[in-house]
Amino acid sequence: METLPTKANREGCSFTVADFYEAGREHLALELLTGENSMQTRIEEPILNRPGLALTGFFTNFAPSRVQIFGNSETAYLDSLEPSERNSRFRALLAYKPSLLVFTNGARPYPEYLEAAGEMDICVMTTPYETRYFTHHSLFLLERLSSPKTTIYGTMIEVCGLGVLLESAPGLGKSETALGLIKRGSVLIADDLTCIRKDTAANILYGSASSSTVGYMEIRGIGIIHVPSIFGIDAVRGEKHLQLVITLKHLDEVRGEVDRIGQRREPKEILGVKIPNVLLPVSEGRDLVNLVETAAQQHKLILAGQDPASKLSMHLRGRASRNAMPARTPSLFSSQVISI
């Protein structure tokens, strides 16, 4: 499996205030008020913090490396102070160099606040959304920005409800197989290049297309096609949980490697997560669309606890053990019954 270089790794991804702003500008209605020159400041901890007690002068356990949220409570407290005092408290907080301050509920900071933040090269933004709404959606955004990521050469589709990644050498028919599956009701996630994101809390992977290639496929001999325009908007999905990797290899390359029973399954490891892997030999006349669909259905059975290979193996072992048992000798009681 070939991956592309990326600034992300298994531990996580480094991102800046500018990344957060670009990712949430529309969805969170963010407006940059000051700090244009410090947009490349890194957000060290992908979590939010309400400064609360820090505004009173109590900075023990204060977390300046987090995004600082000024909700109604914070702004109301500062408004209750004399102008000189509130400016002093605000500057004391800025002295800890927080990476970003966001005022919620459409609050507009005093000009003195913006002047102080500008002097210290600290970004200040505002949003019209309520604190609870902004907090909820920002946490998801921060998690996505900080998640370990990689990009893999492969085509990802949703087959029978499963996220399946097709990988192979160029020219073996990944895209053509995916196209055939889409015509049978499967859903395109990404063609040729798949962006993988790790959910560290659940230790699972999600696959998606890059923002510039969503919904597009390259089919040799035809060219670039737009899947939603041909098959409808339901034929494309933005992101999907990756549950199975199917590797296509030419038959001559894998003679002797193919597991004909299905009990030897070597997983693929991506970003530290092991994903079940199926090796499918490619040769003339093999119906890859049908095989990939069947492999996905088989994996769903295994996830449900129904493993045909193990079940058959247990059945044959039980039958062999029964045939190997010695014949029972008639007991005294049975011989008496027969004689009677």
What does residue 198 show for φ and ψ, rounded to 5 degrees?
Answer: -100, 130
Whether the pLDDT of residue 9 is over 50: the answer is no
Burial of 203 (0-12, 13-18, 19+ CB in 10 A): exposed
Name the percent of the chain lying above pLDDT 90: 68
Whether the pLDDT of residue 76 is over 50: the answer is yes
| Domain spans, the chain | 13-146, 149-305
Report CA-CA distances (Å) from 206 to 62, 200, 302: 34, 11, 20
**Paired tokens of 67:** 């995004």
Task: Tell me the average pLDDT across 42-51.
Answer: 93
Strands 3-4 and 187-190: unpaired
Report pLDDT for 204.
94
Which of 72, 69, 126 minimizes the C-alpha distance to 93?
A: 69
Q: Which has more confidence, 44 or 265? A: 44
Query: What mean pLDDT value characterizes the chain?
Result: 87
CATH number of the domain at 149-305, please?
A: 3.40.50.300
Report pLDDT for 251.
83
Report pLDDT for 337.
44
Whether the pLDDT of residue 314 is over 90: the answer is no
- pLDDT confidence tier of residue 329, bands split at 50, 70 and 90: low
**Paired tokens of 140:** 């998801």
- pLDDT confidence tier of residue 34, bands split at 50, 70 and 90: very high
Q: Worst-scoring range by mean pLDDT, 81-90, 115-124, 234-243, 280-289?
A: 280-289
Report pLDDT for 263.
58
Whether the pLDDT of residue 153 is over 80: the answer is yes
Tens digit of each residue's pLDDT (9 = 90 or more) over 86-103: 999 999 999 999 999 999
Report pLDDT for 256.
63
Domain 13-146 falls in which CATH fold? 3.40.1390
